[in-house]
Amino acid sequence: MGGLRICLKLIAISVQSQLEYRASLVLQVLGQFVMFLIEFAAMAGLFARFGSITGWGFGQAALLYGFADISFACAEAASGGFTLLEQQIRRGDFDRVLARPLSPFLQTIGQELTLRRAGRLLMGTCVFGWAWTTCRPAPTAVGLAALALGFVGAVAVFISVIAIQGALAFRTVESLEVVNALSYGGRAVSSYPMTAYRGFVRHLFLLAVPVGCSIYAPVCTLLHRSPCPGWPWWIGVVTPLASLPFALLAGLAWKSGVARYESAGG
């Protein structure tokens, strides 16, 4: 509990430092909001041209899009510290992290809560709210439970992917952008119905990196739809559990990376 308290204090310091430049923060949040508003407008144009995608109307797809953006925004804000690891390792600053009597993972999580991600979170919330009033789902206890578990699972999967990116920084700093194909790519893929993709992409983001298990399947359960042929509509209340072994894998990758670290004398 003492380590968690220190982590929360580090997060509070990060928030306070960002609030010192309120005008800059507001502009960054507005910039992100406008950027993702334009992205959503492109999605609206796609549905205006084709009407539906694999049986999904615009309102239902917008519900999926908003849920994916809310989950990813929360995960990206909470894991901002992992994106700083590359520079820390290059400068030898990670030595100081290891010298402190606190878990390196908690220190990395605590060193930055990225407030500018509120722009994506706000946009996702607006889209989700609009889509809810448009398609008017008939929520059941199972559907709402699936949505809640899906949110937790999606945030866990996205943080795990970003943590794996941080773990790779201990081995190489040249290929880290490859991981963005799983984090940002996973967010983009999960914003549309999985049945719209070919088998490889669908299996990659349902089985290997279970983003679809925590976003697509729970939304299908909420809408009383079968996620994939042969799957029951209620499966979305179970599939978010796939985030647990993936998070465990990310934890092992992190521990392996930290163990490999060699002091740079910083």
Q: Is residue 90 part of a domain?
A: yes
Residue 86 belongs to some domain of the structure: yes
- Asked if residue 49 is part of any domain, the answer here is yes
Both tokens of 132, joined, read 């809810």
- Tokens for 50, please give them: 């084709």
Burial of 251 (0-12, 13-18, 19+ CB in 10 A): middle
Q: By the 8 A CB rule, do 156 and 163 touch?
A: no
The domain tally of the chain equals: 1
* pLDDT tens by residue, the chain, 266 residues: 667 787 788 788 878 888 888 898 899 999 999 999 999 999 999 999 998 898 999 999 999 999 999 999 999 998 888 888 888 888 878 888 888 777 888 888 888 888 889 999 999 999 999 999 998 888 899 999 999 999 999 999 999 999 998 888 888 765 567 788 888 888 999 999 999 998 899 999 998 999 999 999 999 999 999 998 889 999 999 999 999 999 999 999 999 988 887 766 54
Domain assignment present for residue 64? The answer is yes
Spell out the SS3 assignment of 137-206.
CCCCHHHHHHHHHHHHHHHHHHHHHHHHHHHHCCCCCCCHHHHHHHHHHHHHHCCCCHHHCCHHHHHHHH
Does some domain include residue 266?
no
3-state helix, strand, coil in the chain (%, to 5): 80, 0, 20
**What's the domain range around 45?**
2-260
Kindly state whether residue 47 falls inside one of the protein's structural domains: yes
Q: Is the dihedral of CA 50, 55, 59, 60 positive or negative?
A: negative
Residue 80 lies in a domain: yes
Assess if residue 265 is contained within a domain: no
